[in-house]
Amino acid sequence: MFYIYCPYCGEHREEEEFHPKGQAHIERPKEPEACSDEEWGDYLFFRDNPRGVHHEMWVHAVGCRKFFNVTRHTVSYEILETYKMGEQPSITADSQGPSREAAAVSQKEGVRA
Amino acid sequence: MQRYSGFGLVKHALSHHENWERQWRNPTPKKQYDVIIVGGGGHGLATAYYLAKEFGVKNVAVIEKGWLGGGNTARNTTIVRSNYLWDEAAALYEHAMKLWEGLSQDLNYNVMFSQRGVLNLGHTLQDMRDIQRRVNANRLNGIDGEVLDAKGVQELVPIMDCSKNARYPVMGASWQPRAGVARHDAVAWGYARGADAHGVDILQQTEVTGFKIRDGQIYGVHTNRGDIEAKTVGCVAAGNSSVLAKMGGFNLPLESHPLQALVSEPIKPILDTVVMSNHVHGYISQSDKGDLVIGAGIDGYNGYGQRGSYPTVEHTLQAIVEMFPIFSRVRMNRQWGGIVDTCPDACPIISKTPVKGLYFNCGWGTGGFKATPGSGHVFAASLAKGEMHPIAEPFSMFRFHSGALIDEHGAAGVAH
């Protein structure tokens, strides 16, 4: 069970108050008509699917109902930070080696990050 | 290969069953193969089996980073059906169904395929309209199916609450009598034994760490046990496909999610069919051991952790108890998760890639088990000929740029 800090409410709440909404920081092409099929297909269907640090949107569905961003490790599920829409993450895959907790969980689950 | 039979069982009883042959070898990797399959799950092993048996390609290696049947093959809820809406998907899953029907004989291995039928429940008027449309489409494609009303469902499953008092009353269902369940790890073991008997090397505890690519053509893989060369490489790695694609230098439109299942304590036979409900999000069958096998939905977030969250389990059990009040006191024994690679259109990718000689078979999402024989067969045909099999053709990864999607969210959804 995640215990998620909503940056708008300023409080930790349980996972059931939230819904995950997929990859964060996706920009709609400014001129869709000018896109090639590849660019448009990439925008619609292709998502980051890293084994490691991932930036994603969540919505505080039964709280303030606002969308915000979460940086989370997809193997340990550790939430590294949450931040408001429009802001940039302070933790990225490059800034963060595999965390100790992630390594420990990986070991236990028999999976490799 | 030592063939299994009733006579063999009696013969081995005389030596206290201590002299059974190992089902497959544990070979050291050769330097070079004609075809390498990355991923030793059901689909990968089936691919190797059909390559060697039907398409005459015997110099094949299956590379598996863990052990056979340690991934989704042995983590699913074992349901087999082929009642998909669109022609392309129906052809693929029905191809698999026909192979399922002779699989135990073909492999000389009892995969315990039991055609006990599958019910897909409808709880709303729209559900029922969708069911009618799908059953009609199935029948036009030569796939068995019937639309049942609530009374018909109640006759098949007397213990289900089909009354009007339910929060989401059962209005009817689609019924595919040829569908059913199979023993999932027997499928992996049976294919492994068959492939090994035809000379396929199954390399467990061997992890692919990179591809050897020259001038856009693959010529081998790097592994933790040294480099292995092959001009044709097929990746069948389920939840880890995105990671492999990245090594090949391209992206796949996949997202990996945890999907959970759970089993109860064993109880006496009470449910002789498979009941699935997309609307309330739960599906259930009873195994030969007597435990209730229950499947949950995916967790909405991306994850590689092979475990799921408790709110999802709770949600699923609410749905099960709503449908089967009689199960409200049954205790759950085990719960686990697997990583499923979901595709935007809920259909798999069986495809060539931008790298010549490198093929991917992935994106099966929440419902790959049922397709194991068919997926392996068409993928093997494609690898052997270098041209995609006609049934596999529509499942190209390039459909996400051309727009020729096969939208199976209705028949696939989450419930498999």
A1 touches B at CB < 8 Å: yes
In this complex, the residue of A37, A45, A49 whose CB is nearest that of residue B302 is A49
Measured between CA atoms, how close is B21 to chain A, in angstroms? 29
What H or E segment, with its residue span, contains residue B292?
Answer: strand B291-298
Indicate whether B189 and B153 sit together in one domain: no
∠ CA A46-B397-B415, nearest 5°, is 75
Render B182-219 in DSSP notation, one character per residue.
--HHHHHHHHHHHHHHTT-EEETT--EEEEEEETTEEE
CA distance A100 to A108: 12
What H or E segment, with its residue span, contains residue B62?
Answer: strand B60-63
∠ CA B354-B356-B362, nearest 5°, is 60
Torsion of the alpha carbons at B375, B64, B306 and B249, rounded to the nearest 10 = -80
416 residues of chain B, pLDDT tens digit each: 889 999 999 999 999 999 999 999 999 999 999 999 999 999 999 999 999 999 999 999 999 999 998 889 999 999 999 999 999 999 999 999 999 999 999 999 999 999 999 999 999 999 999 999 999 999 999 999 999 999 999 999 999 999 998 999 999 999 999 999 999 999 999 999 999 999 999 999 999 999 999 999 999 999 999 999 999 999 999 989 999 999 999 999 999 999 999 999 999 999 999 999 988 888 999 999 999 999 998 899 999 988 888 899 999 999 999 999 999 999 999 999 999 999 999 999 999 999 999 999 999 998 899 999 999 999 999 999 999 999 999 999 999 999 999 988 876 655 44
A–B CB contacts, 8 A cutoff, strictly below: 74
Inside any domain, residue A46: no
Inside any domain, residue A87: yes
Confidence of residue A113 (pLDDT cuts 50, 70, 90): very low
In 3D space, the residue among B300, B245, B290 whose CA is nearest the CA of residue B270 turns out to be B290
Which residues from chain B sit within 8 angstroms of residue A15, using beta carbons? 309, 311
Supply B338's token pair: 């697997």
Per-residue pLDDT at B412? 64
Residues 270-329 of B with CB under 8 A from A: 299-307, 309-311
Query: Last residue of some domain: B340, B360, B395?
Result: B340
In this complex, the residue of B302, B309, B402 whose CB is nearest that of residue A74 is B302
Largest CA distance in chain B: 66
B205 touches A at CB < 8 Å: no
CATH code assigned at B375: 3.50.50.60
Neighbour order of strands in the sheet with B217-223: B208-214, B217-223, B226-229
State pLDDT tens for residues A60-108: 999 999 999 999 999 999 999 999 999 999 998 887 655 555 555 444 5
Q: Domain containing B334: what range?
A: 111-178+255-340
Percent of chain A with pLDDT over 90: 79
Query: Last residue of some domain: B340, B361, B396?
Result: B340
Inside any domain, residue A33: no
Supply B252's token pair: 């796949």
Measured between CA atoms, how close is B343 to chain A, in angstroms? 9
Measured between CA atoms, how close is B253 to chain A, in angstroms? 4
Per-residue pLDDT at A95? 77
Which residues from chain A sit within 8 angstroms of residue B66, using beta carbons? 110
Per-residue pLDDT at B2? 87
Which residues from chain B sit within 8 angstroms of residue A68, using beta carbons? none
Per-residue pLDDT at A93? 85
Question: Beta-carbon neighbour count of residue B144 at 10 Å?
Answer: 17
Indicate whether B271 and B297 sit together in one domain: yes
Per-residue pLDDT at A110? 46
Inside any domain, residue A31: no
The residues that bridge with B36 in the sheet, in sequence order, are B61, B233
Measured between CA atoms, how close is A106 to chain B, in angstroms? 8
A44 touches B at CB < 8 Å: yes
CB A55 within 8 A of CB A67: no
Supply B397's token pair: 């990864």
The label of the residue with tokens 């053709």 reads B393
Mean pLDDT of the residues in chain A: 87
CATH code assigned at A79: 3.30.2270.10
Q: How many domains does chain A have?
A: 1
